[in-house]
């Protein structure tokens, strides 16, 4: 009986330890997200700049669609090709979700880290996406299909567009940090502080990737189900 009691007690302790570990892991994850959201406050000027670039692209695509039509049509042809391939599969909505999620996730993460090249690509990424959206908006407006436009963009765009802007803002910030590092070659005395700042940013960017994964996953589900249903009616 004593042996059985000891076994039961040891099993209870093991379960309690596992529960504490699970709670600790969850708390750490929540703490890291809180740190990321606090870092968003530090990034507010970059968010504003990134949003301004996106809106500029939106306006260019809407009011000057004829000047950029060839470039935008090339981008849209690629999307149309994917849509055609998806429609021929046995489970089009499932594959639509997979393609949407991977496309947005890869481009967003790429936009963060390619910012290493002085932040040029994230700016182009924002401008191009804004122009494509503006171009589509102009085409729908010409046909007086505003409701259809909102149905096709708004449900998932609430999550997807801010995610793209946030990712690109971090890419721009990374580019600025690289430029700052180059200037610090002239002032070696500040290198230690710069290393700490750069390391902290890179660690925060990994938390951002996790955050973007969750947001873009949710956006892809909405786009491949609810948005798909709205525009198919």
Weakest-pLDDT range from 22-36, 111-125, 144-158, 181-195: 22-36
Question: Nearest Cα to 48, choosing from 40, 38, 36?
Answer: 40
Task: Give the pLDDT band (50/70/90) at residue 28.
Answer: low
At 138-189, the pLDDT tens digits run 988 888 788 888 888 999 999 999 999 999 999 999 999 999 888 887 776 6
- Rounded to whole angstroms, the Cα distance separating 136 from 133 reads 5
- pTM to 2 decimals? 0.83
Q: 9 pLDDT band (50/70/90 cuts)?
A: very low
pLDDT band at 65 (very low <50, low <70, confident <90, very high): confident
CA distances from 27 to 22, 23, 57, 151, 204 (A): 9, 6, 40, 38, 17
pLDDT at 118 over 90: no
The candidate with the shortest Cα–Cα distance to 208, out of 154, 165, 155, is 165
The residue that leads in pLDDT, 101 or 118, is 101
CB 129 within 8 A of CB 79: no
Cα–Cα distance, 203 to 228 (Å, whole number): 36
DSSP state letter for 186: S
Mean pLDDT, to the nearest integer, of 93-111?
92
């Amino acid at each position: 009986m004593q042996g059985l009691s000891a076994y039961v007690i040891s099993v209870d302790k093991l379960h309690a330890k596992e529960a504490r570990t699970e709670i600790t892991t969850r708390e750490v994850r929540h703490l890291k997200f809180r740190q990321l959201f606090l870092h968003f406050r530090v990034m507010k000027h970059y968010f504003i700049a990134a949003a301004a670039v996106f809106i500029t692209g939106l306006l260019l695509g809407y009011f000057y669609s004829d000047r950029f039509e060839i470039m935008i049509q090339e981008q849209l042809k690629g999307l149309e090709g994917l849509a055609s391939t998806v429609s021929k599969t046995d489970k089009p909505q499932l594959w639509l979700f997979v393609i949407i999620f991977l496309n947005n996730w890869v481009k967003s993460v790429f936009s963060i880290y390619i910012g290493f090249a002085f932040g040029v690509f994230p700016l182009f990424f924002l401008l191009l996406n804004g122009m494509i959206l503006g171009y589509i908006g102009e085409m729908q407006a010409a046909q007086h299909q505003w409701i259809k436009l909102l149905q096709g963009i708004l449900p998932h765009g609430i999550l997807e567009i801010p995610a793209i802007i946030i990712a690109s803002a971090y890419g721009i910030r990374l580019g600025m940090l690289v430029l700052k590092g180059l200037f610090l070659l002239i002032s070696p005395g500040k290198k230690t502080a710069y290393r700490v700042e750069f390391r902290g940013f890179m660690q925060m960017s990994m938390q951002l990737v996790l955050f973007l994964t969750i947001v873009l996953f949710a956006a892809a589900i909405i786009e491949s189900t609810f948005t798909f249903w709205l525009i198919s009616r």
